[in-house]
Each structure stands twice: as structure tokens, then as C-alpha cells.
Structure 1
Amino acid sequence: MTIASHFRHFDELHPWNDRQHMLECIAATVETSDVMTFTFRSDRDNWFRYLPGQFVTLELPVSEDEPVMRTYTLSSTPSRPFSVSVTVKAQKNSIGTRWMSDCAPQSDVAFVTCARKPEDLLFKAELECLAAQMPKLALGFVVEGQNPRDGWHGLRGRIDAARLSLLAPDFRDRTVFCCGPEPFMRGVRDMLKVCGFNMERYHEESFQPAAAPAPEEIAIRAGAGEQEVDANAVATVTFTMAGKDAKCPPGQTILQTARAAGVRIGAACEGGLCGTCRVMKVSGEVDMRHNGGILDDEIEEGYILACCSRPIGDVQIEA
């Protein structure tokens, strides 16, 4: 089951009614120092039908003894019916609103962000506003260069063990989540390894296309079927609509084979994410390693993503 399989088309949803519903908070946006917007969706397959200016009563589990009921005007627009929002101000003695604004203030987080110049630092003001509400949120900003007119007084240069130790002295005891260009993440990985960091607690986000599987791995997968396939053999890909047969060397994708044969298959991310290159597989087997760009029921129908599918033997594609 993929994340995308939870998606429902509008005509499959039921309109919201005035009965009790469980809501899931999917976003909390800081508007000012004491005002936040909370966005909710239903835990059921519902869409929200309401008029501008209508209100909603929320039952807030402030304590285990008795929930607090609070009524708020909807600040969202009915033209976007998949969620609703309320914008609330935390008054001095308010209970429910301040409970809603409590965004895990005791979470111990060291957030380090790097940029080329001070003006390239993303969400700096928002992070500083969040840090004012979270005493254990430590912010660290590092820029490579600056203009004297920038008035930058923070750390300069590239992130290294010395700078990281200043910003997060206990980084060896933490769990690290890293995101950025591959050269940047590679540098962070190498730095942490040299520092003796336990890499089992290192996680990174990458949008690079999946690497081609080794021939022996394809052989193992193919060997699980009734017919044994030579993983090192050149496969033939037949594009039925174009009326073309093309040779596909081991490790090459259906999309790469199509381009070499002059067959157009639309593609965008080429990493198995967007689903643009979805095509019907008429016959044959492929090794597909997608990243959520295709639904399980689409796979059952015979669809594949050309960008991340490699043939195991001869295949026919509707393209």
C-alpha cells in the first residue's frame, strides 16, 4: 500500500455534516507572536461544505478529566473544501487556545541551516519566532560569504566539525536528519564519520533517481518465477503503438530505451515520484523501483513507470 493509494477523487467523498467528527490537524501556521492558524482535515472521506463566516465548535482534550469546548469562526475559504482552518489568538487567560498553540515547546532540537549568503537563509524569521516559544530549540545559521553591508555577525564558512560543535556541542548524542544537495549531504556524512558519529542515527532526504540494480540482483528476482531469465541478456522492448522494437541493454530503463528508439514517453521527475511516465505493460516482466508515483491498483492493472522499470526479458509496452 503506497501513500498515494489513500487519495480519493472528489466524487468518492461525502459532504461534511453537523454531526461529531474527529479532525486531524495537518498544519499550524504562526501569524503573529500570539496568533496561529490551524488547518484540519476529516478522519473520514469527507469534504467540507459551508458558507463564509460559519463557525465550528472544537472539543479540545486539554485534560483527561473533561474536554474544553471552544467555538471559532472558520477562516478558510469554502472554495477549497478538502480542509478547514481557524485563526485564533491566545488571550492572557485563555485555556483552549493556549493549549492549541502548545507546539511541543519542550522538544530538544538543534536546527542548523547553511546558505551561501545571509539573504539566502530560508524561513529565518519564522524559525526565530518558533524558537521564542520553544526554549529547547537551538538555532544555528552558517553562511559561506557576505557583503559588509549585510551586517552579518554569525558564523561564516562551510559547515565542519568545529562549527557544528559550536552550534550543537552534543551532536554525537543526537539523531541527525540532513537535507540538501548531494555534495552537501556527502560532506556532512563524511564529517560525521570522521567524528565517530553512529551513522545508524543518520538520516537524509534525497530526490535522486534510484540506482540501477546489479545484474545478479535482477537474476535473483527473475529466478523466483517459473522461467529462468538471463539477467545479462539484451532484452527486446516492443512499443506496440509506435510499432517499434528496440534493444534494451542490462540495467537500462524502459524510458531510456524509448528515447533511443525515438518513441516519446512523457516524463518529468525521472525518479519514480510524479507518475508522468506511466504506461501499460502488455506482456513480460520488469523490475520497477518507484518512489510512490504509482498506485497499487494501477500496478495490478498492468501499469508501470517507464523511468524506473527495467525489463526482465522481452516486454511489450503500450506506447
Structure 2
Amino acid sequence: MMRDAATFEPVESRVTKPEFWRALPARWTSEDEEALVCCHVRQETHDVKSFFFRSPQGRAFVFEPGQFITLELEIDGETINRCYTISSAPTRPHTISITVKRVPGGKVSNWLHDNLQAGMSVRVLGPAGEFTCARHPARKFLFLSAGSGITPLMSMSRAHHELGDDQDIVFVHSARTPDDIIFARELDLIASNQANFRTSFVCERLGARTNWPGVTGFLTLPLLKLIAPDFMEREVFTCGPAPYMKAVRDLLDEAGFDRRHYHEESFSFETLVSESAASDAASAETATEEQSQAGNGVARFTVSFARSHREITCGADQPVLTAAREAGVRLPASCTQGMCGTCKVKLVSGQVEMKHNGGIRQREIDQGMVLLCCSKPLSDLVVDK
């Protein structure tokens, strides 16, 4: 070890080290720090990027693999919230990452790909979510993913790998072409390091890589039986586009799989926004069963929208967002499950029962903010919208 001739103090001891190397850092929460700093952007495939974030104050990220965070972005003068599954593992607590596929016409995914760079700050909520193997311990797992749905399952795989936990995992990922497989090299590395971790890739077509040795086509029950003959004994986690997950459910149902051991997640909010608009149009034409029930002995309250000067009636057992849509009032919303925060508004007066899933901060609740998608009225309401 080199020493200073005058003081004999080790040179290393006088080097200023980053704060998070000196002591165990405090835990990051969106209550303490609303914004994170993008510290790195990595191109994964031609249309997929990973964005890495750190806490400006060096706080550590604590979450369960498979959970998500919500980004609050200002795009063209509009505040937009989007949920993205965390792709990094909690075993590397000083950074957190999301992996985003560019969606044709997708307002948020395209903005992230074109604008978000290292050094920029982003407001973030979370982490939250229940889609995690940490809450469903099992001897054997089957991970099924398609496209960017690989991200939560990658977080789970990375966590097991970095903990040195050689868990029995069969990871089956579906992609358009071999060049569209996200994290292909890293999955190969994990498989080479762990005897009980096995991967299998299913590509719709060859694309430019004509020497692809793997399977082409789609995941079917006979193919799954070849890849994982004991899949009926495994805890199954699935994430991907809605049609893919429906196909997986149908496949497992055909095999007689016990759905109690099946878990799925999807955060395609670009799609959900379009579906919400369609839902608004449909609601204007027909009343729902919930609306009919509200007239049979269930208390009903008036909800006034202060800015638009609209007034609707909402049953005590009905979320305000649902009643508003049925009355033809268009409001911004994405997940409709209290997770993303898109439908957050100021409650001017009245009381609600709100059961959210992480899409709003306690500080915001204390300031009178509510999520309309998961708030049911306890009295007449006035909303600042």
C-alpha cells in the first residue's frame, strides 16, 4: 500500500468516496424525494431502451422483484402518468431501472426514447404492485413472457441470480424475431451460472438472423410440454400483451392447470388509454349493471365538477370515475386500479372512501387529493375538474 512520506497516512483513506459507499444509505421513498435522476440509458434492442435512475441524495431502493414505479411526466404541457415495471433487481439498491419498448404512436414511450437522457430528473411514485415471486414461494417456477413483458420476470431472475439462489426456474420468452429478444445475452449468462435456471426462446419468424437454431412460431401446449414437462407442478408467472396472456390462460386451462398457482401482470398503458376512450363512448350508450343496482336502496350522491360545471349522480358503491364515464364526462385515466395516478384530482369538498394501490402519495392525500378510479362517495362531492 502506498503511503504519504510525511504523514504515513494511506493515500486511499484521503480519497473522497461517494456517499453511498460510506454507510448503509437510507431507504428511498417518493414521499422524501419526488424526483429521481436518470444516470444512464442503454439500448437493448433496436426499439427497446433501459433507463437507469438514482436518488440525488444517495438513498437505496427497496422493493420486491416484479413491482413497478409510476413516472409523472410533462409532455407538451400535459402531465401524464405511466406505470413501468422495474427491470433491475433489489439486490442492486443504488439504482433502479425500467425497460421501455417504443410503441408506434405511443405518446410516452416515444417521448422517453427521444428525450430522456442522463442527467435529467423525473418525478416518480412507488414502488408498488403484487406481481412478485417473493409473495409466492415455491420449489419450482415457470416464467412466461412476451415482448417487453419480460421486465418483471427479468427482475425476479436477476434477484435469484445475484443472491446465489439456484432456484429451479424455466424461463420461456416469446419475441417477434431473434433480434427482438430483450436481455438475451444476460439470460444466457444466468443460465450458464445456475444449473437449475433454463431458458427457451420462441420467435414468430426468423427476421434477419437466418441461422437461428431455436423455435419459430408461437407457444402452444405441445411445445410447452416439451420445454417444461413438469409445468403442472410449477408456480407460473406471466407478463406480456393482453392477447398473449389470454393465449397462455387458454393453454393452461386446456391442460387443467390449477389457476391458484397462476399469476399475471400487464402494464401496457399506451393500450389502456385507447381502451379508456372506447369505454367512454360505450358508457354514453348503455347503463351498466352497477348503475341499475344503485337505484335499489343504495345511497346516491351528487358529484359536481367545479371547472367544467358538470354535475352527475354517483352511487355509494360506485367509483366516481365509473359514474362520470357513464354520464358522458370524460376524465383522464389509465389503469383504473389506483396504481398510476392519472385520475388524481383535488377534492374541494365532501368525503370519499379510497382504496388505492400506490398511485398517490400520503402527502397528497393530506392535501385533499384523491384518485377517482378507486374513490366511492360518502357524501355529496365537489371536484376541482
Instruction: Give the alignment's TM-score, normalised by structure 2.
Output: 0.48
Change (3 A) 1:78 1:289: closer
Which residue, out of 142, 145, 152, partners 2:202? 142
What's the secondary structure of 2:212's corresponding residue? coil
1:25-62 deviation line (CA, Å, top 9, x unaligned) = 889xxxxxxxxxx74459xxxxxxxxxxxxxxxxxxxx
1:195-232 deviation line (CA, Å, top 9, x unaligned) = 1222111111133779999739987xxxxxxxx9944x
Write the distance in 2 (CA, Å) between the matches of 1:237 and 1:133: 58
2:203–2:218 CA contact under 8 A, matched in 1 = yes
Change (3 A) 1:133 1:230: same
Give the RMSD, CA atoms, in angstroms: 4.7
Write the distance in 1 (CA, Å) between the matches of 2:214 and 2:203: 8
Write the distance in 2 (CA, Å) between the matches of 1:205 and 1:308: 19
Q: Compare relative contact order (CA 8 Å, sep 6+) and give the higher one, 1 or 2.
A: 2
Write the distance in 2 (CA, Å) between the matches of 1:291 and 1:199: 23
1:236 aligns with 2:302: yes
Write the distance in 2 (CA, Å) between the matches of 1:24 and 1:254: 32
1:25–1:39 CA contact under 8 A, matched in 2 = no
1:179 aligns with 2:239: yes
What's the secondary structure of 1:176's corresponding residue? strand
Match of 1:275 in 2: 341
Write the distance in 1 (CA, Å) between the matches of 2:222 and 2:166: 27
Amino acid at match of 1:9: E
What's the secondary structure of 1:294's corresponding residue? coil
Match of 1:162 in 2: 222
Change (3 A) 1:218 1:198: same
Write the distance in 2 (CA, Å) between the matches of 1:164 and 1:14: 45
Shift of 1:110: 0.4
1:105–1:135 CA contact under 8 A, matched in 2 = no
Write the distance in 2 (CA, Å) between the matches of 1:317 and 1:164: 51
What's the secondary structure of 1:304's corresponding residue? strand
1:8 aligns with 2:74: no
Which residue, out of 293, 304, 308, partners 2:370? 304
Write the distance in 1 (CA, Å) between the matches of 2:308 and 2:178: 52
What's the % identity of the aligned pairs? 33
Which residue, out of 301, 311, 334, partners 1:245? 311
Write the distance in 2 (CA, Å) between the matches of 1:121 and 1:14: 32
Shift of 1:165: 1.2
Change (3 A) 1:266 1:8: same
Change (3 A) 1:14 1:253: closer
Match of 2:253 in 1: 193
What's the secondary structure of 1:127's corresponding residue? helix
Which residue, out of 272, 290, 297, partners 1:215? 290
Shift of 1:306: 2.7
Amino acid at match of 1:156: T
1:254–1:306 CA contact under 8 A, matched in 2 = yes
